[in-house]
Structure 1
Amino acid sequence: MEISVANRKYTWSNNQDNPIFATIDRVFTSLSWDAYFRLSVVTALPRVGSDHTPLILDTGARRVSSPKIFRFEKWWLDHPDFKKMVADTWNTPVPEKTAIDIWMNKIKLFRKKARGWSINIEADIKKKKRELLLEFDILDVFSERNQIDDRDKTRMEEIKKELAHIPSKEETALWQRSRDRRIIDGDKNNAYF
């Protein structure tokens, strides 16, 4: 049994000046799987950097959230505002008297500030990425139905380049969590990326 793609007509393009579109990528399920996950929906992501449209299967099942533990993220070190945030946090006066209490309080304060700082930075990056992907997707869907002009083709290429330069916090975090030190920083040809 096939679950049809909700938001795209085609899942493949040859990416040429006179494009050819086809539905090559599909999602199939068994009847028992479909009976268990009745709210399943397949949506297509923007087709940036590939001739295939990535498909996402959402089963509609509830996700159980667990409390997040604090982790120092490697990508923080690459961000230009990180050192200032650390210095400001560390130089904040605390009321404790003993050195160990001062240190413990500053570590707690750093955790709190770093979490908030990280959330804001990630939100800015995700917002920029989401805006670019939406613009690309609009142009891409339009190109499925109509011939697009050179200006739109140029804009699509510009968006691809901009997306390639957006700092990839996800890649760095996956590398950090993988604990596989054989992976060369930036190597995308593996199961973690």
Structure 2
Amino acid sequence: MYHLNIPVDENWLLLGDFNFLRSLDNRNLPGGDLNDMFIFNEIIGHLGLLELPIKGKSYTWSNMQDTPLLEQLDWFFTSVDWISDYPMTEVLPLAKTASDNVPCVVTIKTSIPKSNLFRFENYWPELEVFMDCVDSSWQKQSRKGHITARIADKFKSLRMCLKRWQKNISKLKL
């Protein structure tokens, strides 16, 4: 068994060749010790582990015979905190080598959305039409009651107008 400890906010991965089945579906032929399955699953539940399933593979071990016995003996577990921080974590099987175990790789990634940044260009005020855009935006009425909310609303409106205006002048940069 292998244990990979990632010391980031108590997050961790537990992975390895446990040599236990979790259910009768984890092998292609009848058999398996139900008592061992029960104990293994009880330990997983008691520890609050979450399984990371292997994408596209049902079995990770073979006895390499002509009529092979196939079993999933390799398991990948983690915590709720890990799943929250890295929701796109995947376990992917690799091409089988001479070993009786299928090697796997754990990909850890997160989806961080790109912000839609507003970038003010220093040359804009030098353009004649820039002040027209600012003026028309600033003259729009705000429905906000408090003065600070009205100013924030006007800046937000100005940013949107300048973004639209910028698309029409973008060829000037060339």
What is the TM-score when the length of structure 2 is the normalising length?
A: 0.34
Structure number with bigger Rg: 2
The answer to which structure has the higher strand fraction is: 2
The answer to which structure has the higher helix fraction is: 1
